[in-house]
Amino acid sequence: MPRESLVTWRERLRRREISAVEATRYYLERIERLDPKIRAYITVCAEEALQEAEEADRRLSAGEDLPLLGIPLAIKDNICTRGIRTTCASKILENFVPPYDATVVERLKAAGAIILGKTNLDEFAMGSSTENSAFFPTRNPWDLERVPGGSSGGSAAAVAADLCVASLGSDTGGSIRQPASFCGVVGFKPTYGRVSRYGLVAYASSLDQIGPLTRTVADAALLLQIIGGPDERDTTSWPEPQPDYLKALENPVKGMRLGLPREAFGEGLDGEVRTALEEAFRALRELGCEIREVSIPHMEYALPAYYIIAPAEASSNLARYDGVKYGLRVPGRDLIEMYKKTRSEGFGPEVKRRIMLGTYALSAGYYEAFYRKASQVRTLIMRDFEEAFRQVDLLLMPASPTPAFRLGEKTADPLQMYLSDIYTIPVNLAGLPGLTLPVGLTPGGLPVGLQVIGPQLADARVLTLAHHLERALGLELNPPLE
């Protein structure tokens, strides 16, 4: 069976060329055969998925026409799923089974989707390589000795290896877009608030955003149409209704003004990545787009600002894991010792590092010097983007300074690991929509992704340009796995 997009699967199911049970069995067979090498999944729901597929076939036979009826999807394991273990790849939540579904999962189920399982991630979404999972690292389907990126590495690897039709991830500082680049798939972080965070286990609440990882831009548009929109259970969700993203894909791009931030194309950008991006720029010019240089003057301060703001919010959000209410409990002689033992044994090294960084930044005497200053820098970065979007319609940047790096290459040097997100973090700080799509392979056969960034609520415009570029490049990227 050939690898196919979500849109194609949908049409085949509607025409009854294939059944939902056959589609689900196809993916479960691939998971059983290939996932022991890749380790994209933490939990596989084989029995439940087949039951859902049988029900989908009955509904299809009865003439029901839901947008995802019978489509097998995967969900990042920091998004709550009722009755299915949700671990955040952490020992502290290893056996946690939520009593409710996240809003995005409710919407997928209402649209008829089948949940194949939950995908691996860096613990509590803190990392750039999926090596920080408490259970096992995920491997890149293009080269099993390399990382898939992070923190949504399991979701990206599952889509790239054709272990699901599409998946959901979350993006706090690049955690959808960077793994999409490393694995050669499409990854979209919508405008902050465009997709409800209700049921997403919080890392940094002012930065977190759920989004799709897919084979094509049209697939991302379709999934966003379903999971996006207002939600009264998330006070940060935008109240405005969504546009028709699929319809917007065919809008013209001729005459569109595109900006290249000079700060993103200087020292530190790998030459092979630059070459692949330049090929994409050539294709965009042939589509009639105008490309010019712009500036994001405070971009160099985004990384340090992020690593104060995000850990500070994590320090507060992760205080709830204390062994009292849910999750792991390690007994102690008294309450304080129980807290200490539970958190010491339950959290991994990177999570502890970020909790300590955040607690320090919020502590008396340091709040003004660190957290307040970082918040001011965030405002400056938002203003930089606003100024850039007065000159251009969209911005283009690398998704990562390098192709996928080797497993273990950066685990001993946290700063080098953090630099993997240097081009994606500014987008989260400003709350903007950003999409990564594959634009080529390095001479060594590793994918390279281009990041398309829009102003707030210009999600449709981002999808439009990415769709036209995807068609112009005509790439068919399949990892050498079989």
CA distance 468 to 460: 12
CATH of the domain spanning 1-482, picked from 3.30.420.40, 3.40.630.30, 3.30.200.20, 3.90.1300.10: 3.90.1300.10
DSSP one-letter string for 117-153: EEE--SGGG--SSS---SS----BTTBTTB---SSSH
pLDDT attached to residue 2: 53
Instruction: Name the phi and psi angles at 302, rounded to 5.
Output: -65, -45
Instruction: Name the phi and psi angles at 79, rounded to 5.
Output: -115, 125
pLDDT attached to residue 267: 87
pLDDT attached to residue 229: 98
Angle among Cα 141, 145, 148 to the nearest 5 degrees reads: 45
Whether residue 76 lies in the annotated active site: yes
CA distance 327 to 263: 43
Domain spans of the chain? 1-482
Catalytic residue of the set 133, 167, 170, 175: 175
Angle among Cα 35, 141, 182 to the nearest 5 degrees reads: 130
Catalytic residue of the set 19, 76, 128, 129: 76
Whether residue 352 lies in the annotated active site: no
pLDDT digits (tens, 9 = 90+) for 168-180: 999 999 999 999 9
User: Does the pLDDT at position 326 exceed 90?
Assistant: no
Determine which helix (DSSP H) or strand (DSSP E) holds 76, and give its type and residue range. Answer: strand 72-76
User: Does the pLDDT at position 365 exceed 90?
Assistant: no
Q: Which two tokens stand for residue 242?
A: 């969504």
Does 170 sit behind a cis peptide bond, omega within 30 degrees of 0 on the bond before it? no
Whether residue 175 lies in the annotated active site: yes
Q: Determine which of 107-116, 326-335, 383-392 has the lowest per-residue pLDDT on average.
A: 326-335
pLDDT attached to residue 418: 87
Residue 106 neighbours by CB distance under 10 Å? 17
Give which of 326, 420, 328, 312 is closest to 134, Cα–Cα: 328
pLDDT digits (tens, 9 = 90+) for 78-122: 999 999 999 999 999 999 999 999 999 999 999 999 999 999 999
pLDDT digits (tens, 9 = 90+) for 408-452: 999 888 888 988 899 999 999 999 999 999 999 999 999 999 999
Q: Under DSSP, is residue 455 helix (H, G, I), strand (E, B) or coil?
A: coil
* Average pLDDT over all residues of the chain: 96
Catalytic residue of the set 5, 19, 90, 151: 151
Give which of 147, 149, 77, 81 is closest to 114, Cα–Cα: 81
User: Does the pLDDT at position 1 exceed 70?
Assistant: no
Residue % of the chain over a pLDDT of 90: 94
User: Does the pLDDT at position 282 exceed 90?
Assistant: yes
User: Does the pLDDT at position 53 exceed 80?
Assistant: yes
